[in-house]
C-alpha cells in the first residue's frame, strides 16, 4: 500500500473516531449548555488538528514503530541471548512509552507531579514489565497465573497508598496501551515468540499489552510512596478566553513551538536507539531504512498536531462543559451523556472492528460480530457511567475496581484461554485517545464545579473504562462455552486457537 493510500485510510479511521464525539458535544453546547463562541471555535479547530494528527501519527506508527519492533524482535530472536532480550525490551519499552500521546495528555493534566517525573516513572514501569512479558513467553508461564499474582500485589499495595494517588495509578496503566505502544509491543512479542517451536508459542504472545498495563500501576504506586506532590489538591484550571478568531489563531500558533520541542524530545530516544541498532545489528537495506525514517517523520508531525489540538481546543472545552453541566440542571444529563459518548467512542475504534470480526470467525459464528460490538459498547458506556457516578457521589474507586477485577479473574477459570487474553489486552483498545483527551477533562471540570477532590473523584475514569471489557469480553467467552455444549466445539477452554491481536495494532 502506498503512503498516500495508507494516509487516506488512517485519516478516515481518525474521522470515524473523533467526529461522533465532536458532533455530540457541539449539539449539547448549542442546544442545552451555551459555550463561549471563541472556545467553541477553538474546540472545532482542535478536532481538525486531532483528525489530521492522529491520521498522520497512525501512518507513522505503522511505517516505523511496528517495523522497528519487528526488526529488533527478530534480531533478538536470532541472538538467542536472554540478557540482550531483557535489556533491549526494557530500554525500548521505556523509550516508546515516553512518546505515547495518551500518556502525554494524562501527564500534562496531573497536578502536583512534575510531568517528566511521571512520564519517566510510567516508562520505566512499562519497560520492566515488557521484560517480564518476554520471560513469560520464553518460559511458557501461564498468563492467568501471572495476572492473579500481579493483581493480588496491586490491590494489596493499594491499601497502603494515599487515596489521592490511587486513581492516577490505575489510569497510568490504561493510557500506556495506545497507538504508539501497542503496535511496537505486539511486533516485538511475535519476534521473540519465534524462539519457541511448540504449538502454543503464538498463544503465549498474548498478554503483552495487559502485562505492560500492570507495570505503570506498580510504578506510580511506588512513586507516590517516595515522591511528595507539589501543591497538594488540584487547583482550578485557568481556561483560555478567546475573544475573537485572532485570539484563537494566536493560541494555536503560540502553542506549536513548545510542542515541536516536546515531541522531538519524546521521539529522540527511539530514533537514537534505532540508529544504533541499525549500525550494530540490523544493517537494513536502503529502502526499508528510509521507509522507517519517513514513518518517524509522519509520527513526529502527527503527534505535534494531535497534542496541539488536544491542549489548545479540545480538552479545554471538555473541562468547561463538565463544569457548566455540573452547576446547573445539566447535572442530570452528565451520566447519560457520558454513556452516549462512550458508546460512540468505542464503536468508532478501527481496532474494535478487526477484533469483533475475528472473534466471530474463531467461534464459527457462536459469538457474532454484532454481539461482540454490543458487549464492548456496553462496557465503555458502563465504564463512563460508573466514573461519572464517582464524580457525583465521591465513592472510593476501590469499591468498583476490587469487585470488577475479582470478577474478571474468576471468569478466566471458566472461559477459553484465548478469550482471557483478548479481554485483558482489549482494555487498552477501549481506553483510546478520546478517553484521556476529552472524557477525563470533562470529569475534572464537573468535579471542580461540585467542590469534589479531583485527584480522588475525576481521575480513575480511564481505569474504569479499561476494566469493563475484561468482564464483557469474557462474558462472550461464556456464551461461546454454553453454545458449544452438546456439539463438537471449535475452541475448547484453554485451547490453542488464537486471534492475532498484533493485526489489530
User: Does the pLDDT value for residue 505 go beyond 60?
Assistant: no
What does the pLDDT look like over 9-57, one tens digit per residue? Answer: 889 888 888 888 899 999 998 888 888 888 899 999 999 999 999 899 8
CA distance 117 to 169: 14
E strands within 54-126? none
CA distance 110 to 11: 30
Q: How many CB atoms lie within 10 A of CB 498?
A: 19
**What percent of the chain stands above pLDDT 90?**
32
Angle between helix 417-430 and 461-484 (nearest 10): 150
Q: How confident is the model at residue 240 (pLDDT cuts 50, 70, 90)?
A: low
Angle between helix 101-108 and 286-309 (nearest 10): 30
Higher pLDDT, 67 or 337: 337
Greatest CA separation found in the chain? 69
The DSSP output letter for 141 is: -
C-alpha angle 467-470-474 in degrees, rounded to nearest 5? 160
User: Does the pLDDT value for residue 83 go beyond 50?
Assistant: yes
pLDDT score at 497: 41
When mean pLDDT is compared over 90-94, 168-172, 188-192, 486-490, the highest value belongs to: 168-172
pLDDT score at 14: 87
CA distance 152 to 261: 40
pLDDT score at 65: 78
Residue spans per domain, the chain: 3-226+244-503
User: Does the pLDDT value for residue 501 go beyond 70?
Assistant: no
Which of 79-83, 87-91, 107-111 is predicted least confidently? Answer: 79-83
Angle between helix 245-277 and 37-60 (nearest 10): 20
Run of H or E residues at 133: helix 115-139
- CB neighbour list of residue 422: distance below 8 Å, 6 or more residues apart: 206, 355, 359, 473, 499, 501
For every residue of 166-224, DSSP letters joined together read HHHHHHHHHHSSSTTHHHHHHHHHHHHHTT--STTTTGGGTTHHHHHHHHHHHHHHHHH
What does the pLDDT look like over 400-426, one tens digit per residue? Answer: 999 999 999 999 999 887 788 778 877
User: Does the pLDDT value for residue 103 go beyond 80?
Assistant: yes
pLDDT score at 504: 37
User: Does the pLDDT value for residue 388 go beyond 90?
Assistant: yes
User: Does the pLDDT value for residue 435 go beyond 90?
Assistant: no
pLDDT score at 311: 87
User: Does the pLDDT value for residue 486 go beyond 70?
Assistant: no
What does the pLDDT look like over 341-380, one tens digit per residue? Answer: 988 877 666 566 656 765 676 667 767 778 888 888 899 9
How far, in Å, are 49, 92, 137, 149, 440 from residue 216 at the CA level? 29, 15, 20, 16, 18
Please compute the mean of the pLDDT values over residues 113-130 and round it to a whole number.
91
Higher pLDDT, 90 or 101: 90
Please compute the mean of the pLDDT values over residues 91-114 and round it to a whole number.
85
Please compute the mean of the pLDDT values over residues 207-215 and round it to a whole number.
84
Which of 3-17, 45-59, 159-173, 192-206 is predicted least confidently? Answer: 192-206
Q: Which of 437, 126, 188, 441 is nearest to 303 (CA)?
A: 437
CA distance 35 to 26: 9
User: Does the pLDDT value for residue 243 go beyond 80?
Assistant: no
User: Does the pLDDT value for residue 251 go beyond 60?
Assistant: yes
Please compute the mean of the pLDDT values over residues 57-82 and round it to a whole number.
80
For residue 489, give the 3-state DSSP assignment. coil
Q: How confident is the model at residue 443 (pLDDT cuts 50, 70, 90)?
A: very high
pLDDT score at 500: 41
Mean pLDDT over the full length of the chain: 83
What burial letters (b/e) apply to 451-486, b meaning 16+ CB within 10 Å?
Answer: ebbbbbbbbbbbbbbbbbbbbbbbbbbebbbeebee
Please compute the mean of the pLDDT values over residues 319-341 and round it to a whole number.
89
Please compute the mean of the pLDDT values over residues 466-471 and round it to a whole number.
91
When mean pLDDT is compared over 44-48, 247-251, 263-267, 355-359, the highest value belongs to: 44-48
**What percent of the chain stands above pLDDT 70?**
85
User: Does the pLDDT value for residue 111 go beyond 90?
Assistant: no
Q: How many CB atoms lie within 10 A of CB 216?
A: 30
CA distance 473 to 212: 19
Q: How confident is the model at residue 396 (pLDDT cuts 50, 70, 90)?
A: very high
CA distance 197 to 200: 8
Amino acid at each position: 500500500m502506498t503512503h498516500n493510500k495508507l494516509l487516506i485510510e488512517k485519516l478516515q479511521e481518525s474521522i470515524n473516531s473523533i467526529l461522533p464525539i465532536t458532533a455530540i458535544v457541539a449539539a449539547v453546547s448549542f442546544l442545552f449548555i451555551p459555550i463561549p463562541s471563541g472556545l467553541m471555535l477553538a474546540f472545532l479547530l482542535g478536532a481538525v488538528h486531532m483528525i489530521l494528527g492522529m491520521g498522520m501519527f497512525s501512518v507513522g506508527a505503522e511505517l516505523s514503530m511496528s517495523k522497528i519492533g519487528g526488526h529488533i524482535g527478530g534480531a533478538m530472536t536470532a541472538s538467542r541471548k536472554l540478557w540482550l532480550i531483557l535489556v533491549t525490551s526494557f530500554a525500548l519499552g521505556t523509550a516508546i512509552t515516553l512518546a505515547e500521546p495518551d500518556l502525554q495528555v494524562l501527564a500534562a493534566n496531573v497536578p502536583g507531579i512534575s510531568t517528566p517525573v511521571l512520564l519517566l516513572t510510567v516508562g520505566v514501569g512499562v519497560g520492566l514489565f515488557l521484560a517480564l512479558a518476554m520471560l513469560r513467553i520464553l518460559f511458557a508461564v501461564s498468563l492467568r497465573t501471572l495476572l492473579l499474582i500481579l493483581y493480588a500485589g496491586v490491590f494489596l499495595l493499594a491499601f497502603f497508598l494515599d487515596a489521592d494517588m490511587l486513581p492516577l495509578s490505575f489510569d497510568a496503566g490504561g493510557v500506556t496501551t495506545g497507538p504508539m505502544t501497542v503496535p511496537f509491543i505486539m511486533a516485538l512479542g511475535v519476534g521473540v515468540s519465534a524462539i519457541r517451536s511448540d504449538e502454543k508459542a503464538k498463544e503465549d504472545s498474548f498478554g503483552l499489552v495487559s502485562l505492560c498495563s500492570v507495570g505503570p500501576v506498580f510504578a506510580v504506586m511506588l512513586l507516590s510512596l517516595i515522591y511528595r506532590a507539589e501543591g497538594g489538591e488540584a487547583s482550578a484550571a485557568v481556561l483560555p478566553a478567546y475573544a475573537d478568531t485572532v485570539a484563537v489563531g494566536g493560541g494555536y500558533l503560540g502553542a506549536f513551538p513548545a510542542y515541536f520541542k516536546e515531541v522531538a524530545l519524546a521521539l529522540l530516544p527511539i530514533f537514537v536507539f534505532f540508529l544504533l541498532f541499525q549500525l550494530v545489528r540490523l544493517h537494513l537495506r536502503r529502502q526499508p531504512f528510509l521507509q522507517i525514517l519517513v514513518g518517524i517523520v509522519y509520527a513526529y508531525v502527527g503527534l505535534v498536531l494531535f497534542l496541539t489540538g488536544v491542549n489548545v481546543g479540545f480538552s479545554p472545552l471538555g473541562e468547561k462543559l463538565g463544569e457548566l453541566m455540573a452547576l446547573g440542571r445539566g447535572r442530570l444529563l452528565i451520566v447519560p451523556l457520558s454513556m452516549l459518548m462512550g458508546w460512540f467512542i468505542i464503536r468508532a475504534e478501527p481496532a474494535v472492528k478487526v477484533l469483533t470480526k475475528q472473534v466471530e470467525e474463531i467461534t464459527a459464528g457462536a459469538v457474532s460480530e454484532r454481539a461482540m460490538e454490543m458487549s464492548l459498547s456496553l462496557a465503555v458506556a458502563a465504564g463512563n457511567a460508573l466514573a461519572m457516578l464517582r464524580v457525583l457521589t465521591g465513592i472510593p474507586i476501590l469499591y468498583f475496581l476490587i469487585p470488577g477485577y475479582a470478577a474478571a479473574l474468576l471468569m478466566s477459570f471458566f472461559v477459553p484461554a484465548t478469550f482471557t487474553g483478548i479481554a485483558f489486552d482489549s482494555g487498552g483498545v477501549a481506553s483510546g485517545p478520546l478517553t484521556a483527551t476529552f472524557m477525563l477533562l470533562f470529569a475534572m471540570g464537573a468535579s471542580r464545579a461540585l467542590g469534589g477532590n479531583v485527584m480522588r473523584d475525576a481521575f480513575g475514569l480511564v481505569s474504569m473504562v479499561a476494566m469493563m471489557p475484561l468482564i464483557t469480553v469474557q462474558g462472550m467467552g461464556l456464551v461461546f462455552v454454553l453454545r458449544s455444549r452438546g456439539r463438537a466445539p471449535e475452541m475448547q477452554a484453554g485451547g490453542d486457537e488464537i486471534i492475532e491481536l498484533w493485526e489489530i495494532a
